[in-house]
Structure 1
Amino acid sequence: MKNKKPLKDRLALVTGASRGIGRAVALALAQAGAHVVIVARTIGALEELDDEIRTGGGKATLLQLDISKGDKIDQIGPTLFQRWGKLDIFVGNAGVLGPLSPLHHVTEDAWNQVIDVNLSANWRLIRTIDPLLKRSDAGRAVFVSSGASSGKYAYWGPYAVSKAGLEALVKTYAHELADTNVKVNLVNPGPTRTAMRAKAFPGEDPMKQPAPEELVPMFLELVSPDCDFSGRVVGFAEWKKHHASTDA
């Protein structure tokens, strides 16, 4: 019989948990038995998510936090350690789109905001949670990247640079963890029905894109103790195609 609570007694931390992919993943982690620490800027949205998690019999802890505030991030690790002593799962989903404009029109403030949230915050998160992931018997971390990291798209400069940097950061971290029980990977969701996608492509029919919930099984695989690889970028389209062929 398939275990309905495969993540029972595991502790998860999800950033950008108030909506979109982060919300869907946080809900799924809770449904799978994990205690989920949900992080976002908006307390109202966190409370709504908490209500939904608890209605489904799950457990959550709310953490209202603007992850562009580096000194606040630094407190996460010690806080989690004091209460739980470890961290089993981390999902780094928080991100901002920033301006879609020629690079020579991007202001310094706009540039810094995108780099701070999408790249530097994840470095700070790695720094503060690293000891906790290593205290888990199977620490798992998944960071959300983007196809924009290829640098192929005009006017996506700050966002593209932040995601390319994130991929280099996480791959480097994966090599550093080679002799540990921790596995870290990245996800490229592709076009997904989110508020960020709607902002980037306002004329697009969102119903033609996958809902965030469709990506959940991929995330659950990557945070499972059974995940045996590290340092990869897993694209949702390729993952879906592979599973369709193996399930046939």
Structure 2
Amino acid sequence: MSRLAGRYALITGASRGIGAAVAKRFAQEGAHVILTARTVGGLEEVDDAIKQATGTNATLVPLDLRKFDQIDALGAAIYERFGRLDIVVGNAGVLETLGPVAQFDPKLWTRILDTNVTANYRLIRSMDRLLRASDAGRAIFVTSGAAKEPYPYWGPYAASKAALEMMVKTYAMEIAKSNLRVNLLDPGIVATKLRLQAFPGEDQAKLRAPEDVTDRFVDLAEPACTRHGEVVAI
């Protein structure tokens, strides 16, 4: 398994769930993974699993994506250490809570938009030149079916994912003549903490595990990928 051999990959929200599963899979495919999350312990657990499976360590960067200047600092640090970036996976996202739009807590609204939209804008802004320095830069942003159809009480989360999709599609059009390929990925229903927040009575053992959706991430991350500006559903 070496479809990503020699590639440098940044993955946000990598301490658990889909982000952790993608980190482990990318490492198994030969990539050196740079992992960000707020939870240091979770990052260390993922790193231990990668070390056990591949014999190599990840680069761990504990940070809060809502502190946007830290994203800029991360871009500078990646440039100094690696000189380029081949893959970005914008996976980190929050639901916070469900509730009617007219009564939604403004602080939670801001947290959702900051994490799901603005942090990804800052990620694009910081990593664009690094991705262009790659011979085959790839960017993947995790979206949701909630961006497509309105559902009661999902307003803030749905609005954030709809905004993310429009932003990424626009970015894809702007860099269409470069070697960079940018897509959105909708993993569908997966057993994650976010899913459990939304459906606390659901039996997660009956859902797909995060590891079950990593194939498509590899497809979109490898140099051979030609898809661009799409919303790819699993």
Within 5 A, what are the aligned runs for 1:1-248?
A: 4-57=1-54, 58-236=56-234
Deviation at 1:101, TM superposition (A): 0.4
Q: Is the 8 A contact 2:116 2:164 kept in 1?
A: yes
Q: Give me the whole-angstrom Cα distance separating, in 1, the residues matched to 2:96 and 2:231.
A: 22
* Contact 1:99/1:106 (<8 A) preserved: no
Letter in 2 for 1:53: I
> Hey, what's the Cα distance between the residues in 2 that align with 1:69 and 1:130?
19
User: Is this contact kept in 1: 2:97–2:198, CA < 8 A?
Assistant: no
Deviates more, 1:68-77 or 1:26-35: 68-77
What CA distance in whole angstroms lies between the structure 2 residues aligned with 1:199 and 1:217? 25
Aligned residue identity for 2:33:
V
C-alpha separation between the residues in 1 aligned to 2:135 and 2:4? Answer: 13
How far off its partner does 1:10 sit?
A: 0.8
**Does structure 2 conserve the Cα–Cα contact (< 8 Å) formed by 1:98 and 1:158?**
no
Give the match for residue 240 of structure 1.
Answer: none
Q: Per-residue displacement from partner, 1:155-178 (whole Å, max 9, x unpaired)?
A: 001100000000001000100111
Contact 2:85/2:133 (<8 A) preserved: yes
Which secondary structure does the structure 2 equivalent of 1:53 belong to? helix
Listed one character per residue, the Cα deviations across residues 100-144 of structure 1 (whole Å, up to 9, x for unaligned) are 000011121111000000000000000000000000000001000
Instruction: Name the aligned partner's letter for residue 184 of structure 1.
Output: V
Q: CA deviation at 1:6?
A: 2.0
SS of alignment partner, residue 9 of structure 2: strand
Tell me the distance in 2 between the aligned counterparts of 1:149 and 1:76: 29
Determine the C-alpha separation between the residues in 1 that align with 2:63 and 2:157: 21
TM, length-normalised to structure 2 = 0.98
SS of the aligned residue for 2:58 comes to strand
- 2:220, 2:3 → 1: CA distance? 13
Q: CA deviation at 1:99?
A: 2.1
**2-structure distance, mates of 1:70, 1:18:** 19
- The answer to whether the 8 A contact 2:97-2:197 is kept is no
Contact 1:87-1:135 at 8 Å conserved across structures: yes
Aligned partner of 1:245 in structure 2 is none
Runs of 4+ displaced beyond 2 Å: none
Cα offset, 1:151, TM superposition: 3.9
Gaps of 5+ in 2: none
Q: Secondary structure at the match of 2:185?
A: strand
Q: CA deviation at 1:7?
A: 1.3
Query: Cα RMSD (Å) of the superposition?
Result: 0.8
- CA displacement at 1:97 relative to structure 2: 0.4
Q: Secondary structure at the match of 1:86?
A: coil
CA distance in 2, matches of 1:77, 1:173: 18
- What secondary structure is seen at the aligned counterpart in 1 of 2:157? helix
Query: What TM-score, normalized by structure 1, do the two folds share?
Result: 0.92
